[in-house]
Structure 1
Amino acid sequence: MHAAPVTPSLREVDDLPSPRGLPLLGNLHQLPPATHHLTLERWAAELGTPYVFRFGTTRVTVWDDIELSHTVLRERPYRYRRYAPIERILKEFGCNGLFSIEGDAWESQRRLVMQALSIPHIKAFYPTLAAITERLRRRWEAAARAGAVVDMLDDLKRFTVDVTSALALGDDPNTLEDERELIQEQLAMLLPTLMARVNSPFAWWHYVKLPRDRQFDAAMIDVHRHIRALMARTRARMREEARAEACEMPFMDLDVEPRNLLEAMLALRDVPGSGITDDEVAANVLTMLVAGEETTATSIAWALLFLGADEALQERVAAHARTVLGDAAVCPGYTAMRTLDLCEALCMEASRLHPVAPYLSLEPIEDVRLRGVRLPAGTKIFLLHRPAMLDPHNFADPERYDPDRWLHEHRLQQRAPADCPAQRGAHEPHAYLQFGAGPRVCPGRHLAAVEMRLVISMLTANFTARLATDASRIQEICAFTVGPSAMPMRLTLRAT
């Protein structure tokens, strides 16, 4: 007789290992907001995954299995959703757009955003992108001539706000040149406030307003006033253009093609019976501004940490950039930009070591089983990203900053025959999840790549850049996304 196969017993969430906590608080006191992601990663190394920790009485399961991450992300938005408090709090901010919205409303909004951020649209937008990059170059030239230390993270956020606003909304706030334009400073308050409130055990801000809460509320009022004024101007322009077209061709049924995301949303909103409100349009405008500002600017800033400390690498990138740019200060065309692979590789490798999104927070909409663990609907799930990106099975010599690993010619070398072991090494892009995966993969990933290539090539072709502080003093700070605590640099003009 053969023994019956042994079926592994199904584990419950409370069966998982857990760091020791306190009654009522759980592990909340062990998770400083600015560095809690590092604690989550340390617990993963000590306890193994999955493990469970507690925000007060809320249980959160933590996983670092890359295949499981892809499985979960493929099944969004109908089997898994983003951590529910995120949507609730963004609704309070008037910012429940494509990033956080769930269910059927997501699909229609996704189509609009994907159209605005499509490759043909960005290609047509390239002259404006190049003009905004030139604006950033002039700002840096002035700082270099003055011998001033440049707050690179602040300047990069100004750049990405101008790009996103001009591309998606048809409005260029020009924060790079207009120091009186406060929208960038106001937007910068949103994600830290979101992080603080998402991780709070109760909604204390509904009952007590601290000075920072009142400051944030005032900033959001100003931002929404700006967005509503932008919507009104766009509507007026669309009506005026439609009237002009009708006068020129009175016997034709004209359907004017929207030129940007805001025009497309307003056109859809104003169709009778659309079911879309001005509040939803405004929420998506705000979502685009925040998402477009934070992640790309931070990815570029992390690349500067390595570029500014490695003279040989910087000279190599400068030579690569100057070969493509020729005598131009900024990459002159979209086709030329596509050859700047090394510039994008710098940023990708930096965000592998310093992930801008260190984890995703999700929850199942129905009861599920993951890796032999039963998770009731609503169980909180954190999917850690960095462990897989530091796994030598996924990336050879994973602790080393090596942008070459992302270049096509380098990857071809990794396929060398067995008698050339020095040329072989693991490279698994599947383990790099900084833009997500599945149906809700980041729609702005191509725009981000173009911005990375433009900024890095412009910087290295025109300036030498050195960190103005010791690199060891720059720390990871989590404010929903993870950015450097500072990125001060001194720029010197290159000889022409």
Structure 2
Amino acid sequence: MPERRDLPPSPPGIPVFGNAVQFVRDPFGFVRESARTTGDVFRMRFPGADVYVLAHPDHVETALLDRESFGKLDDFSIAFGDALLAVEGDRWRRQRHAMESFFDPTRIREHADTMVSLAGRRAERWTDGSTVRIDTEMRSLALRNLFEVVLGYAPTADELDELAETAHALNLWFEPTSWVLPAWVPTPARRSFRRGVARMRDHARSLLAEGGDEPEEGSLLAKLATLRDDPDSGVDEAEVLDQVVGMVFAGHETTALSLTFALQLLGANPAVAERVFDELDETLDGPPSAADLEELPVLDRVIHETMRLYPPVHAIPRVTEAPVTLDAHTIPADETVLLSTWCLHRDPREYDDPETFAPRRWASTTPRDRGYSFVPFGGGPRICIGRHLAELELKATLAEVCRRYRIEATGSLDVSPQMTTQPDGPVTIRVTDRRR
């Protein structure tokens, strides 16, 4: 056990509650200010437990690559059981190998037309001059993309609404008010979370029953059903259910958030939006094709900048498997560690004017150039398996929506840290038909 003086420093707090009050009042602001004033490795003191934060690219790289010292948090198993999101070691390697062909960039690219069509059908429902609640619209659209492109199942509109609402509840385990309290405290958010987990498993069971008997050939649902029914696969029904739950949540939630943030930011930054419109007008002659989507650098920059300013995963949680020393400070074993994507992406040492939405900053650099200062999909061996799906879906959807509509934001964008970076209230835009 390290000496008390060897532990990372803590921001000033108050007796008994430590940093809990500051964190609950302004989670993002408190973490960023603490990184600025306390250091790139610091310790938040909460009742019953400390939480350690890493806010430097080098430390985040260490945590993502050193899987002997940093493991997955048990909280993921509570939500996703034995899904790819939660498991470690041989089980992770077996699951990753079984599923990665479904997310191969070449295979995903074949579905570009489907993504454009789904976006067009969704946008066709909007009327000229209307106000659209894009957070719910994009959640439903991203979920339909996941089902039709990956799972090979066409849910009804009612199924989509129910699935989207249920999956959204899985964020609640990471509500700031829950983070600062011991795990045994039954907060309202935790109760809602547990109900959401139970409902998601019921949905997964129904999907396998309805779509698993005669799934679309070559779909992930077909693969999972085959594994479930093969006595030699080593995969039982419980693990298959976990995979469906994990895929339904992770396969649409972060993409829906990035679409929501991108549309709101374009609506709030008309000069940037005009550059996007000009590029689309010069490139497209109707709905974008897969080849067209590769010729839209301005839209690429908008997507990169959206994911920098509002990373859908604001922090990557880990647990120390052994004592870890960083910056001459030692984090003990069995401690919760947050790799703060939010801090990395808004660090003035890494990005000029980091609070400003400035897609032009990506004209002379790339995500690869930024290394571990830009990690919207994580990094290392466990980098998000669905990143190519998300990137193509973002581009296809934004291109088709912006081909059709001029966008005006009708409110500000406030966010709250849950499992993902959630809008703090409805997000709306006003749409005006550009084709007239």
The answer as to whether partners of 1:395 and 1:428 remain within 8 angstroms in 2 is no
Aligned equivalent of 1:377, options 323, 333, 352: 333
Q: Which residue of 2 aligns with 1:191?
A: 171
- Measured in 2, the distance between the counterparts of 1:90 and 1:181 equals 20
The answer as to whether partners of 1:50 and 1:64 remain within 8 angstroms in 2 is yes
Q: Which residue of 2 aligns with 1:79?
A: 69
Deviation at 1:217, TM superposition (A): 5.3
Q: Which residue of 2 aligns with 1:28?
A: 20
The answer as to whether partners of 2:163 and 2:200 remain within 8 angstroms in 1 is yes
Q: Which residue of 1 aligns with 2:10?
A: 18
- Measured in 2, the distance between the counterparts of 1:380 and 1:66 equals 18
Label 1:284 to 1:341 Cα distance change in 2 as closer, same or farther (>3 A): farther
Mapping for residues 54-453 of structure 1, pairs under 5 Å: 54-76=45-67, 78-84=68-74, 86-90=75-79, 95-140=81-126, 143-144=127-128, 147-175=129-157, 181-195=161-175, 199-205=180-186, 219-237=196-214, 259-326=218-285, 328=286, 330-331=287-288, 333-407=289-363, 410-411=364-365, 428-453=370-395
Label 1:37 to 1:100 Cα distance change in 2 as closer, same or farther (>3 A): farther
Larger radius of gyration, structure 1 or 2? 1
- Measured in 1, the distance between the counterparts of 2:77 and 2:19 equals 23
Q: Secondary structure at the match of 2:376?
A: coil
The answer as to whether partners of 1:162 and 1:174 remain within 8 angstroms in 2 is no
- Measured in 2, the distance between the counterparts of 1:235 and 1:495 equals 42
Deviation at 1:464, TM superposition (A): 0.8
Deviation at 1:213, TM superposition (A): 6.5
Write the letter of the residue equivalent to 1:59.
D
Q: Unaligned regions of 5+ residues in structure 2, if any?
A: none
Write the letter of the residue equivalent to 2:244.
V
- Measured in 2, the distance between the counterparts of 1:358 and 1:180 equals 26
Q: Unaligned regions of 5+ residues in structure 1, if any?
A: 1-9, 242-257, 413-426
Label 1:457 to 1:112 Cα distance change in 2 as closer, same or farther (>3 A): same
Q: Secondary structure at the match of 2:125?
A: helix
Q: Secondary structure at the match of 1:200?
A: coil
Label 1:273 to 1:482 Cα distance change in 2 as closer, same or farther (>3 A): same
Deviations 1:92-133 (A, max 9, x none): xxx541112223211111122321111122123333222211
Label 1:112 to 1:125 Cα distance change in 2 as closer, same or farther (>3 A): farther
- Measured in 2, the distance between the counterparts of 1:174 and 1:42 equals 46
Deviation at 1:150, TM superposition (A): 0.6
Q: 2:422 matched to 1:480?
A: no
Label 1:264 to 1:465 Cα distance change in 2 as closer, same or farther (>3 A): same
Q: Secondary structure at the match of 1:54?
A: strand
C-alpha RMSD of the superposition: 2.7
- Measured in 2, the distance between the counterparts of 1:439 and 1:11 equals 33
Q: Report sequence identity in percent.
A: 26
Deviation at 1:323, TM superposition (A): 2.8
Q: Secondary structure at the match of 1:32?
A: helix
Q: How many residues align?
A: 431
The answer as to whether partners of 1:12 and 1:375 remain within 8 angstroms in 2 is no
Deviation at 1:13, TM superposition (A): 6.7
Q: Secondary structure at the match of 1:188?
A: helix
